[in-house]
Amino acid sequence: MNGESKPLSRRLVPYWLMGPGLLWLVLFFVIPLYFMARLALESGTLETGFTFSWEWSNFSDAISRYNEQFIRSFVYAGVATLIALVIAYPLAYAIAFRGGRWKNALLFAVVAPFFVTYLIRTIAWTTILSDDGVVVDVLKAVGIVGEDGRVLATPAAVIAGITYNFLPFMVLPIYASLERLDPRLIEGAKDLYSSPRAAFMKVTLPLSAPGIVAGTLLTFIPAAGDYINVLFLGSTNTSMVGNAIQSLYLNLRDYPTAAALSFILMAVIMALVVIYIRFAGSEALMGEEEEAT
Amino acid sequence: MSRAWKWLRYHGVSIWAALAIAYLLVPIALIAVFSFNDPEGKFNYIWNGFTTEHWTNIFGIEELTDAFLTSLRLAALSTIIATILGTMIALALVRHNFHGRRVANFLIVIPMATPEVVIGASLLSMFLIYGISLGFFSLLLAHVMFSISFVVIVVRSRLIGFDRRLEEAARDLGATPMTTFRTVTAPLLMPGIIGAALLAFALSIDDFVISNFTSGTTVTFPLYIFGAAQRGIPVEVYSVATLLFAVTVLAMIFVTWQQRRAEKLAEIRPDDEDETGLSALASGREPISSTGSAA
């Protein structure tokens, strides 16, 4: 549409518009990643200083020292993502198809947790799950938790916190895909004598798949890197890779190991995302569909 | 039995949704309630009695107030910068065709798909190597960076639904490109831009992870909470958090209202090629030009 006939000055307009913002992203996102990669290959200690020496062993060291935290991160994030999906899908469905004039209010309730500081809402959960709180009392009465058992400082508490904190990321994309769905398609299926269940399985669910894919990614990625929930709801026995990175960087100041660990985390997440998108075969990731405009 | 089953099968989803909404809101209610607590010890975990002391004295703790003001300043500055840069990118992406758009799209999406801890760690790596001192300035650099992508996404979605015939009409009526932008494009885009700015502000004021890595000795509101958590969080934190929540809710309602208004404005478009629509624009009897002149 933008022919080559346009004068150079006009063709440069988009670059001028994007330039400053993209430059900012390059300077403070891309280049820092390069420096982190360099740091990950340095050797030395805080006292002697660090020097660049292609120290690949930092990576294998980091994995062998922190493989437990790694596995925990991905297991917790995976479980939390699944629970979030189970909670979010019916919720999104109800808002999209039964919300009526309450739709906006309900959507607002979904994002409301974001308007309370992350740390505060996590701390609120420490009150809810505290040893002499109602939740623990009920769980004790039903026998899920033993007499002197507790919920805080267990993996369950960490997973519950993660699920809560990232649930809106799951609800919103699923809602968006259901909202776009043409209800006549479902009616059509029913007119053709499909049972409500079959109509759901063959029409609604497949058409909302892009929302599910986007939602699970938006939940899983921050969940895998999270360390706040462990700090407040967990213990050293539930620490995740984020906790290791944080303490290596900010307390122990073992920068090379910390950088190597961050890189591995990012690489593993990217790899999982790529595999997942291939597997789910979705065009759902942002931006692609709008390119035609 | 079968009737009960049918009822449950239809309403099950709604009941589940109601429970999920309750789950989402319970911690918020708890925070609001506990801002009126009169705790016995240092820890505000057990309900002990009602008091409004921590509301009347909401800015009584100097460190907390300082941290909160730092957060507000940081959020305001980073929001302004990120909103301008992000809106410009969105304009380029939607309005222009150019080489390298895939790269640009990729560059915008990838920070959102990177765990915060990695962003914080990598920024700290760079600041360490360059010997940039950590503080308000390094926080600002970081906050603008992670806000830009979100601004682009929000403004772009608004631009895609933009009826460009409105601009063409203004041009046909002799408006210069600058006037068209000022009187047609900007007012119609404003709700999207305000929405994006609000999001950037919320992201900034809420950020703990990236700030934890890039703050040095500067203390923001979340960093203060984190520091206070070990020795017992003062009840005033709950009050400030509740206040912040209330203000954000009001701002959200305002933006929604603005958006509705803009959608109404955009509806008076020239549907056919007849002159009625255009004359409506030309006579300026509809708010497009009136908001324009007010701006």
Q: What's the pLDDT tens digit per position in B140-165?
A: 999 999 999 999 988 888 787 777 88
pLDDT at B267: 66
For residue B1, what pLDDT is reported? 59
3-state helix, strand, coil in chain A (%, to 5): 75, 5, 20
Residue A80 confidence (pLDDT): 95
Confidence of residue A273 (pLDDT cuts 50, 70, 90): confident
List of chain B residues whose C-beta atoms are within 8 Å of the C-beta of residue A11: 98
Contacts B14 to A, Cβ<8 Å: 94, 98
A289 in reach of chain B (CB within 8 A): no
Q: Tell me the chain A residues in contact with residue B153 when contact means C-beta distances shorter than 8 Å.
A: 286
Buried b / exposed e over A5-33, threshold 16 CB at 10 Å, is: eeeeeebebbeebbeebbebbeebbeebb
**Residue A207 reports pLDDT greater than 60:** yes
Answer whether residue B186 shows pLDDT above 70. Answer: yes
A247-266 residues touching B, CB cutoff 8 A:
249-250, 255, 258-259, 262-263, 265-266
- What whole-number distance in Å separates Cα of residue A280 and Cα of residue B176? 49
A6-25 average pLDDT score:
85
pLDDT at B268: 56
Report pLDDT for B77: 96
| Beta carbons of A29 and B110 less than 8 Å apart | yes
How confident is residue B75, by pLDDT bands cut at 50, 70 and 90?
very high
Of A127-131, A198-202, A276-280, B266-270, least confident by mean pLDDT is B266-270
Q: Between residues B205 and B6, which one has the greater pLDDT?
A: B205
pLDDT-derived band at A270 (thresholds 50, 70, 90) equals: confident
In this structure, the strands spanning A42-45 and A49-52 are antiparallel
Task: Name the band, by pLDDT with cuts 50, 70 and 90, for residue A284.
Answer: very low
Output the pLDDT for position B72.
92
Query: Tell me, what DSSP letter sits at residue A52?
Result: E
In whole angstroms, what is the distance from residue B114 CA to residue A222 CA?
8
What the block records as the tokens of B295 is 């701006």
Instruction: Return the residue in B6, B125, B209 with the most chain A beta carbons within 10 A, the one to mutate for interface testing.
Output: B125
Q: Where are the beta strands (DSSP E) in chain A?
A: 42-45, 49-52
Residues paired with A50 in a beta bridge? A44
Secondary structure, 3-state, chain B: CHHHHHHHHHHHHHHHHHHHHHHHHHHHHHHHHHCCECCCCCCCCCCCCECCHHHHCCCCCHHHHHHHHHHHHHHHHHHHHHHHHHHHHHHHHHHCCCCCHHHHHHHHHHHHHCCHHHHHHHHHHHHHHHCCCCCHHHHHHHHHHHHHHHHHHHHHHHHHCCCCHHHHHHHHCCCCHHHHHHHHHHHHHHHHHHHHHHHHHHHHHHCCHHHHHHCCCCCCHHHHHHHHHHHCCCHHHHHHHHHHHHHHHHHHHHHHHHHHHHHHHHHCCCCCCCHHHHHHHHHCCCHHHHHHHHC
- Of chain B, the end-to-end C-alpha distance in Å amounts to 64
* Half-sphere exposure of residue B125: CA atoms within 13 angstroms, side-chain side: 36
User: Does residue A140 have a pLDDT over 90?
Assistant: no
ipTM value, please give it. Answer: 0.83
The residue assigned the tokens 């931006």 is A287
Q: Which residues contact A109 (CB under 8 A, 6 or more apart)?
A: B21, B24, B25
pTM, rounded to two decimals = 0.83
> What pLDDT is recorded for position B289?
34
Query: A119 to chain B: which residues are within 8 Å by CB?
Result: 208, 222, 225-226, 229
Closest CA to A90 of B224, B9, B140: B9
Mean pLDDT of chain B: 81
CA distance A258 to chain B (A): 8
Q: In the predicted model, is pLDDT for residue B20 greater than 60?
A: yes
Q: Are the beta carbons of A21 and B85 separated by less than 8 Å?
A: yes
Task: Give how far A13 is from chain B: nearest CA, Å.
Answer: 8
- Dump pLDDT digits (tens) for A217-257: 889 999 998 989 998 898 888 889 899 998 888 888 888 88
**Is residue A42's pLDDT more than 80?**
yes
Q: Does residue B207 contact residue B71 with C-beta atoms inside 8 Å?
A: no
Calculate what percentage of chain A has a pLDDT beyond 70: 93
Q: What is the pLDDT, as a whole number, of residue A5?
A: 62
Least confident of A3-12, A161-170, B160-169: A3-12
- pLDDT for A129 equals 87
Q: Of A161, A127, A134, A132, nearest to A148 (Cα)?
A: A132
Distance to chain A for B57, nearest Cα, Å: 19
Rounded to an integer, what distance in angstroms lies between the CA atom of residue A37 and that of residue A260? 7
Predicted confidence (pLDDT) at residue A190 exceeds the cutoff of 60 = yes
Q: What angle do CA B155, B160, B164 make, to 5 degrees?
A: 115
Asked if residue B100 has pLDDT above 60, the reply is yes
Query: Across the A/B interface, how many CB contacts are shorter than 8 Å?
Result: 249
> Which of the four pLDDT bands, split at 50, 70 and 90, describes residue A81?
very high
Percent share of chain B, pLDDT over 90: 23
C-alpha closest to that of A245 among A222, A272, A229, A225: A225
A90 touches chain B (CB under 8 A): yes
- Rounded to the nearest integer, the mean pLDDT of chain A is 83
Please tell me what DSSP assigns to residue A248: I
Q: What angle do CA B172, B176, B177 make, to 5 degrees?
A: 100
Nearest to A155 by CA among A143, A147, A165, A163: A163
Task: Please identify which residue in the block is written with the tokens 């200690």.
Answer: A45
Question: Would you state the torsion angle of the CA atoms of residues B98, B104, B106, B109, taken in this order, to the nearest 10 degrees?
Answer: -130
Query: Could you tell me the pLDDT band of residue A73, with boundaries at 50, 70 and 90?
Result: very high
- The residues in A 118-137 lying below 8 A from B, measured between CB atoms, are 118-121, 123-128, 130, 132
Report the gap between the CA of B30 and the closest CA in chain A (Å).
Answer: 7
